[in-house]
């Protein structure tokens, strides 16, 4: 081999090695309901942070399909990702994905719904402090109830706790609301009705409509749930039943339905929502995964703060909410 040909071959090999070394880091992001406004914004926040960090982000909407979530997880591992953020469709997947990530030496962080390993250890988590944000909801409802003077006579009031009973995170949010509301107005505790739903607004409308029919003596309703869908769906059910907005008090969580609830400017039983900017959740997850690759261990929790949005301050936030 001549020196010239050897030099060319060596240069080609070096160039190939350099190109390989410069391949960008890859992360995966799995979410359970990609067509929902919350997750649309959350994934976009993750993408924006990944771009800022020079990371390739693979994303997949699994639409509550646990099998697809596991398949996607395996695909990401096969693609050589260095970290995966996951919004699990079922918290029972926690031990499964945690073991896969550990075996592959890949970073793992749970988003929105916390999960645990097989031996019960929590996986690093980005989201809300479920009990604390429920407390905020309970405080705001108690304030609204007292302002309206409903606390003087609760005999015609029902409190609807709209619950995704399969989701521990949801139940902790509801328990937080119950604890604070009933501490402020103890007489309401005996007026509560647990209403199971599947975490969607359509189902909330259906189950609350049935509940209204089953409680014909109730003249006023209070609603809380683990998300805006549960509360706005409840309010829509009261509207369909002909109840005036003044006889309904509902406070949501997440802000995903704020545009719909407050955009018309009409009076509504949906009085407010504890807004969490889900884009910050996505960004925080990607940042935590990236930091781990740089030698910074992940924290146990990355809690995000909530902001009360209501009819009074909606105009201030509508731009950030992406309202049309």
pLDDT digit string, tens, across residues 147-156 = 999 999 999 9
Report field, pTM of the whole predicted structure over 0.85: no
DSSP β-bridge partners for residue 125: 110, 301
Distance from the first to the final alpha carbon of the chain = 68
As a CATH number, domain 130-275+310-321 is 3.40.50.2300
Let me know the angle formed at the C-alpha of 209 by 204 and 215, rounded to the nearest 5 degrees. Answer: 125
> Could you tell me if 37 and 200 are in contact, meaning their C-beta atoms sit under 8 angstroms apart?
no
Angle between helices 37-53 and 278-293 in degrees, nearest 10 = 30
CATH class of 24-127+278-293: alpha beta
CA distance 287 to 149: 47
| Residue 106 CB coordination number (10 Å) | 21
In this prediction, residue 258 carries a pLDDT of 95
Q: CA-CA distances (angstroms) from residue 121 to 75, 91, 96, 116? A: 25, 13, 13, 5
Write out the E strands in the chain: 26-31, 56-61, 83-86, 107-111, 125-127, 157-163, 192-196, 220-225, 248-254, 270-275, 301-303, 307-310
The tally of CA atoms less than 13 A away on the side-chain side of residue 281 is: 32
Q: CA-CA distances (angstroms) from residue 135 to 48, 115, 123, 202, 285? A: 32, 22, 24, 26, 25
Q: Which two tokens stand for residue 41?
A: 């914004």
Q: In the chain, where are the structural domains located? A: 24-127+278-293, 130-275+310-321
DSSP string, 120-158: SPBPPEEE--HHHHHHHHHHHHHHHHHHHTGGG--TTEE
Per residue in 120-156, is it b (16+ CB within 10 Å) or e — as a string? Answer: eeebbbbbbbbbebbbbbbbbbbebbeeeebbeebee
In this prediction, residue 35 carries a pLDDT of 92
Q: Which two tokens stand for residue 209?
A: 């409509």
In this prediction, residue 14 carries a pLDDT of 47
In this prediction, residue 246 carries a pLDDT of 98
Q: CA-CA distances (angstroms) from residue 296 to 57, 107, 292? A: 20, 11, 5
Q: Which two tokens stand for residue 52?
A: 């800022």
> Could you tell me if 34 and 40 are in contact, meaning their C-beta atoms sit under 8 angstroms apart?
yes
- Do 24-127+278-293 and 130-275+310-321 share a fold? yes
In this prediction, residue 21 carries a pLDDT of 53
Give the pLDDT of the chain (324 residues) as one tens digit per residue.
444 444 444 444 444 444 445 789 999 999 999 998 889 999 999 999 999 999 999 999 999 999 999 999 999 999 999 999 999 999 999 999 999 999 999 999 999 999 999 999 999 999 989 999 999 999 999 999 999 999 999 999 999 999 999 888 899 999 999 999 999 999 999 999 999 999 999 999 999 999 999 999 999 999 999 999 999 999 999 999 999 999 999 999 999 999 999 999 999 999 999 998 999 999 999 999 999 999 999 999 999 889 999 999 999 999 888 888
């Amino acid at each position: 081999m001549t020196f010239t040909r050897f030099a060319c071959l060596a240069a080609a090999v070096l160039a190939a090695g350099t190109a390989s070394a410069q391949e960008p880091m890859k992360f995966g992001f799995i979410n359970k309901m990609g067509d929902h406004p919350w997750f649309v914004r959350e994934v976009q926040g993750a993408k924006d942070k990944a771009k800022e960090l020079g990371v390739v982000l693979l994303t997949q909407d699994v639409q509550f399909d646990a099998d697809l979530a596991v398949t996607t997880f395996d695909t990401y591992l096969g693609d050589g990702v260095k970290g995966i953020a996951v919004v699990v469709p079922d918290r029972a997947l926690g031990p499964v994905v945690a073991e896969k990530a550990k075996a592959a030496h890949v970073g793992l962080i749970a988003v929105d719904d916390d999960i645990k390993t097989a031996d019960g250890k929590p996986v690093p988590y980005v989201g809300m402090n479920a009990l604390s944000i429920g407390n905020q909801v309970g405080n705001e409802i108690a304030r609204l109830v007292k302002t309206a003077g409903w606390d003087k006579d609760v005999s015609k009031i029902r409190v609807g706790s709209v619950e995704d009973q399969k989701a521990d995170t949801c139940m902790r949010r509801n328990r937080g609301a119950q604890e604070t509301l009933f501490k402020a107005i103890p007489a309401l505790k005996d007026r509560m009705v647990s209403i199971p739903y599947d975490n969607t607004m359509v189902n909330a409308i259906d189950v609350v409509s049935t509940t209204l029919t089953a409680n014909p003596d109730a003249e006023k309703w209070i609603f809380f749930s683990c998300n805006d869908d549960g509360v706005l769906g409840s309010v829509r059910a009261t509207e369909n039943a002909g109840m005036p907005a003044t006889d309904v008090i509902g406070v949501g969580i997440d802000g995903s339905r704020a545009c719909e609830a407050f955009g018309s400017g009409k009076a509504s039983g949906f009085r407010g929502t504890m807004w969490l900017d889900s884009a910050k959740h996505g960004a925080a997850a990607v940042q935590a995964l990236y930091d781990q690759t740089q030698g910074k261990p992940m924290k146990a929790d990355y809690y995000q703060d909530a902001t009360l949005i209501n009819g009074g301050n909606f105009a201030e936030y509508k731009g950030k909410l992406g309202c049309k």
